[in-house]
Amino acid sequence: MPRIYLDYNATTPIRPEVRDAIVPFLNELFGNPSSRHLEGRHVKTKMEAARAQVAAAIGTDPERIVFNAGATEGNVTVLRGYHINYKEKKARNHLIVSTVEHPCIYETAKKMANEGYEVTFLPVNSEGNLDLDTLSAAIKENTGLISVMTVNNETGVIYPVKEIAKIAHDRGILFHTDAAQAAGKIPFDVKEIEPDFVTMSGHKIYAPKGIGALYIKKGRRLEPLLTGGHQENNRRAGTENIIGIIAMGKALELAVQEMANDRERIGALRDEFEQRVLTEIPHTKRNGGAANRIYTTSNISFRFVEGEAVQLKLDYHGIAVSTGSACSSGTLDPSHVIMALCNGDEEEAHSSIRFSFGKYSRKEEVPVVVSRLAEIIAQLRGFSPLYDKFLQQQKG
Amino acid sequence: MEYTEKVMDHFMNPRNVGKIENADAVAEVGNPSCGDVIKMYLKISNDIIEDIKFQTFGCGAAIAVSSKTTEMVKGKTITEALELTRDQVANELGGLPAIKMHCSNLAADALHQAIKTYLKEHGRS
């Protein structure tokens, strides 16, 4: 029985077309793109072609794209480096980020708060939605940057980034969006959304780990995290990760071409899965279900059982999923994202499992996962003191 | 974070799960907001733990620790059971990931609490 992988939001396998595209760069095309000789020039040409592929995927020009090591680098670069756009550096030290950002933003913003920045963490409601009036009200005289992700990695909720960008710009504030879970999966055009900075990642779209790209709007600047070399037009020092860059260009180009089909096919699988789980397994709740969500992601709480236990048992039976439950992640707190959606009900947050579908998900997998889940949940509830208590209350 | 084979064995095939109706001693520790709740049921006769069962809401470690704890004290005297420590249970399982040592290693606490309540109820504490 082959394993069933339902954790595409965590990472994806490298797709064959991408693998084929990088093979020459593992062999004869080894030059340093900064070199003036033929070896270097040849690779430089290929690198610029990949940059054009990435740019085209989000509706911009190649010179707006900076390659880096991934979404974490992109996000941290923006948070740490945006102030270079403001002459009065000290005056613009207020940041607004949502409470459901990826840890690389959330934790960095917390760290910056300790270092003297002013940070507002914008809450979401129990559907996972952000209230735009609350956002407007959070803006201060000294607000310099608003950062809200395009698609949430845990729940799949899609945020109104176009509207947020407008609110920011009306007040002279820069807007950044972490599009690691969006780029290549849903239509994303910078001409329409008008963000100042956009973070993208390669390994979420069937390219290797360790490659990402940052969009920087014309006229905007970022203080680089890595300094020294003149690479990436002085915006990111260090010899370029050519293999990653070639892969990301190819992967993003293909993703855009296949987006409409993927949306229909993967979306149908996700919907069927969700429908069956919610009807066939009692006491289940879909997190973020009423919000506008991406077609790949389903986040479900299974009451009375703990997420890590469910995840471990699924793994044992050949099914890979992830949990926002405390116990899986090396921290003791449940996911701040799911907590936000569970109205602070920590039991529900501890019971959540994320299923994320992708290119190699197949229809036949849905019934296998649903029946295995039903069995595991029943087993665990069979000796859950919380379930027992619930049954007693029902009787009483 | 990895679990030992022994932890996985007790997690996948937990021993002594369920309830004991008319138990002589019962205790529940933990709370759902921490992600772990353990409830222990004991049948005690002549100070010997004749039967013990548990119910656990929690992660793999919490379930394995509960199972191992019941296995270690079944048939033992209550004095022996009171001497059992969390660390001994963890050691018997080949160790637990550091982060689980505190949050998920509650079974011995539940066991001790059940026995102490039992002793109190019998005017022996």
Q: DSSP letter for A7, please.
A: B
Q: DSSP letter for A13, please.
A: P
Nearest to A347 among B19, B33, B61 (CB): B33
Cα–Cα distance between A176 and A196 in angstroms, integer? 6
At residue A89, the pLDDT reads 62
Cα–Cα distance between A29 and A46 in angstroms, integer? 10
Q: DSSP letter for A267, please.
A: H
Among A95-104, A326-335, B72-81, B86-95, whose mean pLDDT is lowest?
Answer: A326-335
Residues of B with CB under 8 A from a CB of A: 1, 3, 8, 11-12, 14, 17-19, 28, 32-39, 54-63, 99-100, 103-104
What is the CATH number that goes with domain A4-10+259-395?
3.90.1150.10
Q: What is the mean pLDDT of residues A259-267?
A: 98
ipTM here: 0.95
Asked if A338 contacts A331 with a C-beta cutoff of 8 angstroms, the reply is: no
Asked if B43 contacts B20 with a C-beta cutoff of 8 angstroms, the reply is: yes
User: In this complex, do A384 and B57 lie within 8 Å of one another by their Cβ atoms?
Assistant: yes
Asked if A120 contacts A98 with a C-beta cutoff of 8 angstroms, the reply is: no
B74-108 pLDDT, tens per residue? 999 999 999 999 999 999 999 998 888 876 788 99
Nearest to B57 among A304, A316, A326 (CB): A304
User: Which stretch, A84-93, A110-119, A322-331, has highest mean pLDDT?
Assistant: A110-119
A179-216 pLDDT, tens per residue? 999 999 999 999 999 999 999 999 999 999 999 999 99
Cα–Cα distance between A136 and A166 in angstroms, integer? 11
Q: At what angle do helices A307-316 and B5-12 cross, to 10 degrees?
A: 100
Q: Which residues 6+ apart lie within 8 Å of B121 measured at CB?
A: none
- Architecture of domain A16-255 in CATH? 3-Layer(aba) Sandwich (3.40)
A15, two tokens: 């797709």
User: In this complex, do A385 and B28 lie within 8 Å of one another by their Cβ atoms?
Assistant: yes
Spot the catalytic one: B34, B35, B87, B121.
B34
User: In this complex, do B39 and A308 lie within 8 Å of one another by their Cβ atoms?
Assistant: no
At residue B100, the pLDDT reads 84
In terms of Cα–Cα distance, which of A234, A247, A157 is closest to A200? A247
Residue B59 annotated as catalytic: no
At residue A342, the pLDDT reads 64
Going along chain B from its start, the domains and CATH numbers come out as 5-121 (3.90.1010.10)
pLDDT of A293 over the 80 cut: yes
User: In this complex, do B32 and A327 lie within 8 Å of one another by their Cβ atoms?
Assistant: no
Residue B34 annotated as catalytic: yes
Widest CA span in chain A:
83
At A375, is the pLDDT very low, low, confident or very high (cuts 50, 70, 90)?
very high
What are the residues facing A356 on neighbouring strands?
A: A7, A297
User: In this complex, do A330 and B99 lie within 8 Å of one another by their Cβ atoms?
Assistant: yes
User: In this complex, do B14 and A383 lie within 8 Å of one another by their Cβ atoms?
Assistant: yes
Q: Chain A closest CA to B32's CA: distance in Å?
A: 5
At residue A289, the pLDDT reads 81
Nearest to A385 among B11, B55, B59 (CB): B55
A12-35 pLDDT, tens per residue? 999 999 999 999 999 999 999 999
Neighbours of A237 (CB within 10 A): 14
Q: DSSP letter for A10, please.
A: T
| Nearest residue in chain B measured CA to CA from A306 | B58
B17-65 pLDDT, tens per residue? 999 999 999 999 998 777 889 999 999 999 999 999 999 999 999 999 9
A244, two tokens: 């990653």
Nearest to B12 among A306, A307, A316 (CB): A316
Q: Which residues 6+ apart lie within 8 Å of A36 measured at CB?
A: none
Give the torsion through C-alpha atoms of A155, A158, A159, A161, to 10 deg: 140
User: In this complex, do B55 and A383 lie within 8 Å of one another by their Cβ atoms?
Assistant: yes
Asked if B105 contacts B88 with a C-beta cutoff of 8 angstroms, the reply is: no
At A129, is the pLDDT very low, low, confident or very high (cuts 50, 70, 90)?
confident
Contacting residues of A for B36, CB less than 8 Å apart: 306
Spot the catalytic one: A52, A56, A112, A327.
A327
Collapse the DSSP code of A377 into the 3-class scheme (helix H, G, I; strand E, B; otherwise coil) and give the result: helix
Neighbours of A284 (CB within 10 A): 18
Report CA A171 to chain centroid distance, whole Å.
27
Q: What is the mean pLDDT of residues A270-296?
A: 94
Cα–Cα distance between A42 and A200 in angstroms, integer? 26
Q: How many Cβ pairs within 8 Å bridge chains A and B?
A: 79
- What is the domain partition of chain A in residue ranges? 4-10+259-395, 16-255
Phi, psi of A393 (to 5 degrees): -65, -40
A59, two tokens: 């509706």
Asked if A182 contacts A294 with a C-beta cutoff of 8 angstroms, the reply is: yes
